[in-house]
Each structure stands twice: as C-alpha cells, then as structure tokens.
Amino acid sequence: MTNADTWGLTPAELRKLRSLKTPYGIQRLLDDMPYHLADSAWSPRRVLRENTSHCYEGALFAAAALRANGYPPLILDLEAEHDTDHVIAIYRVDGHWGAVAKSNYTGCRYREPVYRSLRELALSFFDVYFNLRGERTLRTFSRPVHMGRFDSLQWMATEQPVWFVAEYLLTISHTPLISGAQVKRLHRLDGRSFRAGCLERADKKH
C-alpha cells in the first residue's frame, strides 16, 4: 500500500476509519465524542487519538473517514450572521446529498442523503441554526471543497494545526440562502425550540 493510499495514516488508524463503514457510522462516532471548547485545529489523526472534537475538527474527521470508506472527501461551509460558521462533511448517494457533522447544537448534525441539491441540504439547517438570542442566523453556503487539494499539506495526518483549511474557506464564494427582505421578516425561536436545540450543549456555539 502506497502513501497515496494511506494519506499518511497508520494501518491501525485506517482500520479504525474503515470500521465505521457508512456515513451514519461516522456520525455515531462523532456523536459519542465529547464536544471540546479549545481553540484548536486538529487533524483527523489527532481527533482519533484524543477522541474529542469541535465542529471544524469533526467535519475534517468526517471527510477523512468518508474518504477511507470510498466517498470523495468533501466539506461545505455554512456562513452565519451574528454567529459562528459551521463546517460539515457532505456525501452523495443515488444523486442525493447528505451530511455528517459535529455540532454543539442538536439540529446541526447528521443529514440523510435525501436532498436533491446543495441548496436544499443547506436550507435543512436553517430553522435549527440560531444564536443565544434565539435569532435564526444562517445566511450563505459555500461550494463543495474537495479535501484532496490539501493532500500535500498532510491534512489527514499532520500533528500541526490545520488552520489552512479554515483560511481557505474564507476566500471562496458563498451563495445566499435568503434575501435581505426575508432577513428583516425573520422571527426569533420560541422557547421550546430553543431549549430543544440547546440540549446537552457545551458552553459555546457549534
């Protein structure tokens, strides 16, 4: 097996990723991991070793695990107003999109592959994407980013922070999900929806 096949990971690390088998298997592992609050940018190797992650690290880990199981390693950036962005790993089955994600909020995680377009997929996060004031904050989504573009930087296995991916996401175009007029008409979440979305939330958004 060549380095191109292993992406710098050890046989044991690859076996662990491949044992997850499906996008839902990857999601279950992410859900079982504690959500941590450190200002870090761990590679999938570090996430595997530490068994904890936040949104950004979880998305990179999911992309690596998807790749190990035969899917393209794709991520998507969801951009918010008065809030933090959310990065998700995306996959396709029978022409329909789904997502794997780590989130501090209940509704911003897994999506079954039932969405006909990336816009549909991104909009599925709209009602559950809110800040601590209860404002719905999701505004745009990026084009898919194939993580193979970062292979030369060993994004899957490096011990160094992988902020370069986050920095790249800031440079690419994003597509608006709603208009300015629609933004002005938005209402805050009701209390029950807010509490449900915050179930078991750590002390930080996404």
Q: Which CATH number goes with the domain that contains 134? A: 3.10.620
The residues, ordered by sequence, that sit 6+ positions from 85 with a Cβ below 8 Å of its Cβ are 77, 78, 79, 169, 206
Q: Is residue 37 part of a domain?
A: yes
Note down the domain range covering 22: 3-197
**Per-residue pLDDT, 206:** 42
62 close to 89: Cβ distance less than 8 angstroms: yes
Please compute the mean of the pLDDT values over residues 62-68 and round it to a whole number.
98
Global pTM reads 0.93
Q: Is the pLDDT of residue 2 over 50?
A: no
- Read off the pLDDT of residues 130-186 as tens digits, 9 standing for 90 and up: 999 999 999 999 999 999 999 999 999 999 999 999 999 999 999 999 999 999 999
**Per-residue pLDDT, 200:** 80
Total domains in the chain come to: 1
- Read off the pLDDT of residues 82-141 as tens digits, 9 standing for 90 and up: 989 999 999 999 999 999 999 999 999 999 999 999 999 999 999 999 999 999 999 999
| Token code pair at residue 114 | 């039932």
Q: Is residue 141 part of a domain?
A: yes
- Read off the pLDDT of residues 184-202 as tens digits, 9 standing for 90 and up: 999 999 999 999 999 888 8
- 43 band by pLDDT with thresholds 50, 70 and 90: very high
61 close to 53: Cβ distance less than 8 angstroms: yes
Q: How far is CA 107 from CA 24, 33, 187, in A?
A: 15, 16, 18
Q: Is residue 203 part of a domain?
A: no
| Token code pair at residue 81 | 């107003």
Q: Is residue 36 part of a domain?
A: yes
Q: Is residue 119 part of a domain?
A: yes
Give the DSSP letter of residue 130. B
Q: Is residue 49 part of a domain?
A: yes
Sign for the pseudo-dihedral over CA of 190, 193, 197, 199:
positive
- Read off the pLDDT of residues 71-86 as tens digits, 9 standing for 90 and up: 999 999 999 999 899 9
The residues, ordered by sequence, that sit 6+ positions from 68 with a Cβ below 8 Å of its Cβ are 14, 17, 18, 20
What's the chain's average pLDDT? 94
Quote the CA–CA distance of 91 and 97 in Å, as a whole number.
Answer: 6
Q: Is residue 167 part of a domain?
A: yes
Please compute the mean of the pLDDT values over residues 49-74 and round it to a whole number.
98
